[in-house]
Amino acid sequence: MNAQDIDTLIASHPILSEHADFVRSLVRPNVRITISQDAATGVQSKFGGPAMVPADFEWPEHDVGLYYFLGQINFAEIENRPDSLPATGLLALFNADYDPKSESDEEVFWGDEGYLKAWYFEDVDTLRPMAAPHGRDVQGKRLTLVGELDIPRHQDMLKGCPFDSEILEDLLDVEGECPGPSATVDMLATDYLLGYPSYYSLGYNPTPGPEWVSLLTVDSYEQFNWCWQDGAKLMVFIEQEKLLARDFSNLMCDAG
């Protein structure tokens, strides 16, 4: 959503209109991720496909097996980019997964430390494609990235709310509908950077602590072999100071 969408949302309800300043204080920047059916090439933003990494890159491993290439974000491609994200460079993301060929009985859990790892490469011109050593690459799909705005829906993220927090949840519960006469705006992004974490079944705010912010939220997709918590969403968090320092070495995850 954009500023006009938020104004429409506030104007659509008398109680939100009465507390317009509070609602606007909730606004956070986010970047909507749209998955194209076009194949991605080179350093384009994508989910799946071969990883674009330096020639001397060593594919990450964990106790149960190898990591899987989740995708990459080319920050230069973000339209209306929030200031907290780099203007250039590429972020390569890898998630741990169970290896069916492994003889280990250990399981991989998204709450484990190091479940998702990221590498930030400032010089994209030196990157080269690297196929996954386990041979389980999926076809890469190009992403479009557009900066917009986000507000929370869930009670756990609306502490101190001066009105019944279910009002916001009810108004934003249906994706693709905007309250008010226009009813044409897709209010909720399914996949996005920054913003607020989105969850289905969790009964708590999954943010690890006040110093942490949401970095990435992605849905489950069969085409990428993603199934987070029985088909829910994966939420990735980063410490705000490290994000501003362009340090992606310590990420935390939750799913639900």
Q: pLDDT tens-digit profile of 155-172?
A: 788 888 999 888 887 777
What tokens appear for 37 in the block? 């059916």
Question: Residue 179: its pLDDT value, please?
Answer: 47
Q: Which residues on neighbouring strands pair with residue 118, listed in sequence order?
A: 93
Q: Phi then psi for 21, rounded to 5 degrees? A: -65, -40
Q: Is the pLDDT confidence value at 21 over 90?
A: yes
pLDDT of the residue at 180 = 46
Q: Give residues with Cβ within 8 angstroms of 126, minimum separation 6.
A: 54, 55
- Could you read off the pLDDT of 170-181 as tens digits, one per residue? 777 644 444 443
Write the pLDDT tens digit of every residue in 193-243. Answer: 999 998 767 778 899 999 999 999 999 999 998 988 888 899 999 999 999
**CB-CB neighbours of 69 under 10 Å:** 28
What pLDDT score was predicted for residue 97?
81
pTM, rounded to two decimals: 0.90
DSSP β-bridge partners for residue 73? 91
d(CA 231, CA 4): 32
Rounded average pLDDT over 134-138: 77
What are the two backbone dihedrals, phi and then psi, of residue 194, each rounded to the nearest 5 degrees? 60, -145
| pLDDT number for residue 168 | 83
- Contact assessment for residue 73 and residue 90, using Cβ atoms and an 8 Å cutoff: yes
